[in-house]
Amino acid sequence: MDAIVVLLAAPLAGAFLSIAAPRLAVVASALVCVVAFVAIGLLGAEMLELGPAIVVPGNWGVPLGIGLEADGKAVAFLAMTALVMAGVITAASVEFAPGSGRRSFGFWPLALLLWAAMNAMILSRDLFNLYVGLELLTLVAVGLVALSGKADALAAALRYMIFALIGSLLYLLGVVMIYGAHGMLDMGLLSARTPAPADGLALALMTAGLAAKTALFPFHVWLPPAHAGAPAPASALLSGLVPKASFLIALRLWSEAMPDIVRPEALVLIALLGAVAVFHGGLLALRQVRLKLIIVYSTVAQLGYLFLIFPLAGGEGAAQPWSAGAWSGVTFHAVSHALAKAAMFLAAGLYMRAVGSDELGAIRGLARSMPMTTFAFGLAALTLMGLPPSGAFTGKYMMITAALASGQWWWGVVLLGGGLLSALYLYRPLEALFDGEGPAEIIRPRRREELAPLFLAAAAILLGIFSAVPFDLIYVGRPDAAVTGL
Amino acid sequence: MSADAYAVTGAILIALGFYGLVAAHHLLRRVVAFNVIGSGVFLHLGAYATRYGPPDPVPQALIITGIVVALSATALAVGLVVAHALASGRVALPEEAEDD
């Protein structure tokens, strides 16, 4: 269907336009937003009726052609990307107003290319095409980290790039081995392949590469300096969106392309790394004194939750009745985390500009002078803690249900413990914001800069309240047994 | 036989490159090491193309695409290394000693 092609072409076209005519960058971005929302709406409506949409551009049949496919999860991730982009574009239209120097010239094409890379990775099912998407996403993300041009930002970008390039090469090596053994790269075809001895090693290499890009513990050390050093709108994209793409690919590999060769111990190992990330990130977040670093370590922890799905929906679990609930749960969780995390970074950027620092001591009492931003921050905190009625609560609830149904209650304990920890580390900035009168003189944000985080944080809450439509949508493309089971 | 020789050479390049990427501190050396690994992976992929019967054209297309991607990554990396060196006066990452 054409909507899929539009979703790939529109951000690319916007990126080119914003380089060719930098003054039109914001207009181009807003236009891409409108086009993307319409396309996603049409795609979602079509899918609810007809099931997953598949496009093979150029009419070259798979395996020679490259298949693009939108199933329920894909549309949820596409919508997540579009919503976060819309919020960030709104906020960045002030900070990166066209004509205000090198940074603003760089931001718009990078942001739109990031969007194109996200959409490509969400829609593609070809392992090599995914490699190209992965690299595009990485290079753009590195560019966003380096945007300020300061020495520490450049060092963070370089460190990120070293990790990301090692990840890409590991992934590519796995892809090469798969091609060598089977002569095909399409996930759908691979699921019906005759298993080869090298499959296990190839899957391990690809997973390690993707884990490095998703900042799964212990590959997370590059993330805090990179995400904290970028300007707030860039951090919102980097933390909210970028790791989700590589996570989605890893999960698709384990549950759709090659579930037959997956060993249960491997699934437990991945989930254990996720569980360690939840507690490690949470404990480090408790010890930070800068708001942005608290948010960054919270990303390390929240990304850990995502990996708890592997023993629930990967390998043999992929065909079990609880896997549908686990997939929906993790999708809800990923989407609401993206929205809330982007809102939080945008709010943190406004505090930082208002008082010139993001140390907890400096932002003390800002709730009084910046009530709307603080309300958005509070809503986002509610989501990250996983409290009702947020979308993250729905996600956690479904993941815990799946964990109990599959007899693996201990992953539920990790989910609950992590939620408790996030309440602890988010209490500190909230307590600071509401404490005292606050500084008399601050640099006030523009109205639309305050509305953007509020819009994102509210979307994360509304996702939990109106969860029925997204719920039906995510199920599209699941095997029947997995849908009706629970 | 010759295809296997290419595959083994590819594997050796990958190993050498990973060693360089992890052990070297000088950022330009790391960029070179990344390219050595990339070459090894492409050589490996090329070796698969002639392994059974008539040559398979798909790996060539993949290698060309991969080279373009690696070239872009190298260009960005070198640009960052230069910018970092100009801004900080160092050719290694902050906590790491500069080797020569």
Let me know whether A315 and A434 are in one domain: yes
In this predicted model, what pLDDT tens digit does every residue of A3-38 receive, in sequence order? 899 999 999 999 999 999 999 999 999 999 999 999
Asked if B88 has any chain A CB less than 8 Å from its own CB, the reply is yes
Chain B closest-CA separation from residue A361 CA (Å):
28
Structural domain range at position A184: 126-261
User: Dihedral angle at the C-alpha atoms of A247, A249, A251, A254, nearest 10 degrees?
Assistant: -140
Residue among A142, A169, A172 minimizing CB distance to B76: A142
Let me know whether A231 and A317 are in one domain: no
* Domain assignment present for B8: yes
CB contacts < 8 A (A, B): 80
Let me know whether A75 and A221 are in one domain: no
Contact B6, B49 (CB under 8 A): no
Let me know whether A301 and A428 are in one domain: yes
Let me know whether A313 and A428 are in one domain: yes
Residue among B45, B56, B81 minimizing CB distance to A158: B81
Residue of A nearest to B91 (CA): A155
The whole-model pTM stands at 0.94
CB contact under 8 A, A155 and B45: no
Residue A183 is encoded by which pair of tokens?
């002569």
Residues 6+ apart with CB under 8 A from A418: A278, A279, A282, A301, A304, A305
- Give B-chain residues touching A159 at CB under 8 angstroms: 93
Structural domain range at position B60: 2-88
CATH number of the domain within which B42 lies: 1.10.287.3510
CA distances from A125 to A68, A229, A374 (A): 6, 33, 41
Let me know whether A445 and A456 are in one domain: yes
Task: Identify from A136, A144, A168, A206 which residue to disrupt to test chain B contact, counting B C-beta atoms within 10 A and taking the largest count.
Answer: A168
Residue A326 is encoded by which pair of tokens?
């686990």
What interhelical angle do A232-240 and A102-123 show, nearest 10?
10
CA distances from B53 to B49, B50, B56 (A): 9, 7, 9
Among A123, A152, A168, residue at a domain's last position? A123
pLDDT at A473: 77
Let me know whether A137 and A114 are in one domain: no
CA distances from A295 to A67, A204, A321 (A): 37, 30, 35
Count how many residues are written for chain B: 100
* Counted domains in chain A: 3
Task: Identify from A64, A176, A184 which residue to disrupt to test chain B contact, counting B C-beta atoms within 10 A and taking the largest count.
Answer: A176
CB contact under 8 A, B87 and A139: no
In this predicted model, what pLDDT tens digit does every residue of A94-144 receive, in sequence order? 989 887 788 889 999 999 999 999 999 999 999 999 999 999 999 999 999
Arithmetic mean of pLDDT, A47-57: 84
Chain A closest-CA separation from residue B2 CA (Å):
16
CA–CA distance, A13 with A11 (Å, rounded to integer)? 5
pLDDT of residue A90 exceeding 90:
yes
Residue among A139, A176, A183 minimizing CB distance to B41: A176
Q: What percent of chain B has pLDDT over 90?
A: 58
* Domain assignment present for B14: yes
* Domain assignment present for B94: no
pLDDT of residue A391 exceeding 50:
yes
pLDDT of residue A426 exceeding 80:
yes
Let me know whether A415 and A387 are in one domain: yes
* Counted domains in chain B: 1
CB contact under 8 A, B93 and A159: yes
CB contact under 8 A, B84 and A143: no
Among A123, A142, A166, residue at a domain's last position? A123
In this predicted model, what pLDDT tens digit does every residue of B25-56 receive, in sequence order? 999 999 999 999 999 999 988 888 877 778 88
* Domain assignment present for B13: yes
Let me know whether A44 and A5 are in one domain: yes
Residue of A nearest to B18 (CA): A166
- Give A-chain residues touching B48 at CB under 8 angstroms: 176, 179-180
Residue among A128, A151, A165 minimizing CB distance to B84: A151
Let me know whether A6 and A70 are in one domain: yes
Mean residue pLDDT of chain A comes to 90
Confidence class of residue A259 from pLDDT cuts 50, 70 and 90?
confident
Q: What percent of chain B has pLDDT over 70?
A: 93
| Least confident piece of the model among A224-238, A254-268, A296-310, A374-388 | A254-268
Confidence class of residue A478 from pLDDT cuts 50, 70 and 90?
low
Let me know whether A342 and A475 are in one domain: yes
Q: Which of A379, A246, A267 is nearest to A314 (CA)?
A: A267
pLDDT at A1: 53
Let me know whether A250 and A389 are in one domain: no
Among A219, A244, A261, residue at a domain's last position? A261
